[in-house]
Amino acid sequence: MKLIVTDIDKTLHEVDFKEDDILMHVLRDANMGILAECGGSCVCATCHVYVDQEWLSKLDGIGDDEEDMLDEAYEPNGNSRLSCQIQLSESHDGIKLTIGPKWD
């Protein structure tokens, strides 16, 4: 199964994933430029991604902790998610997303 990732330089990548993988781990291991400073504990917002509109509804809803933590992401919008809070499955094969911009 594959993710279609647009990185910070707007380059497109296809990245493999398996059932039950955490999106942040997949992006980090593929060197997609995700910092994930807190290792997936939902306390740093440095794993921010924008999920393409058509795929948003296929993800589990956003939790309160994640919504709160998005306050510390750079330029969040309605498509923003924290990738450490997303568990992937079969229904996400082909999901399109963009890596969030970095803080200075």
Ligand X SMILES: Cc1cc2nc3c(=O)[nH]c(=O)nc-3n(C[C@H](O)[C@H](O)[C@H](O)COP(=O)(O)OP(=O)(O)OC[C@H]3O[C@@H](n4cnc5c(N)ncnc54)[C@H](O)[C@@H]3O)c2cc1C
Q: What is the DSSP string of 21-88?
A: -BHHHHHHHTT-S---TTSSSSSS-TTEEEEPHHHHTTSPPPPHHHHHHGGGSSS--TTEEEGGG-B-
Q: What are phi and psi of 85, to 5 degrees?
A: -100, 10
Residue 47 contact, options ligand X, another protein, ligand FES, none, Cβ 5-8 Å cut-off depending on partner type: ligand FES
Which residue of the chain is nearest ligand FES when measured via CB? 84
* Residues of this chain, 20-79, that bind ligand FES according to CB under 6 A: 24, 36-38, 40-47, 69
* Residues of this chain, 31-60, that bind ligand X according to CB under 6 A: 38-39, 41, 43
Q: Which member of 27, 32, 44, 51 binds another protein (CB under 8 A)? A: 44
The backbone region for 24, taken as left when phi is positive above 0, alpha when psi lies in -120 to 50, beta otherwise, is alpha
Rule CB under 8 A: say whether 43 interacts with another protein. Answer: yes
Closer by beta carbon to ligand X, 4 or else 43: 43
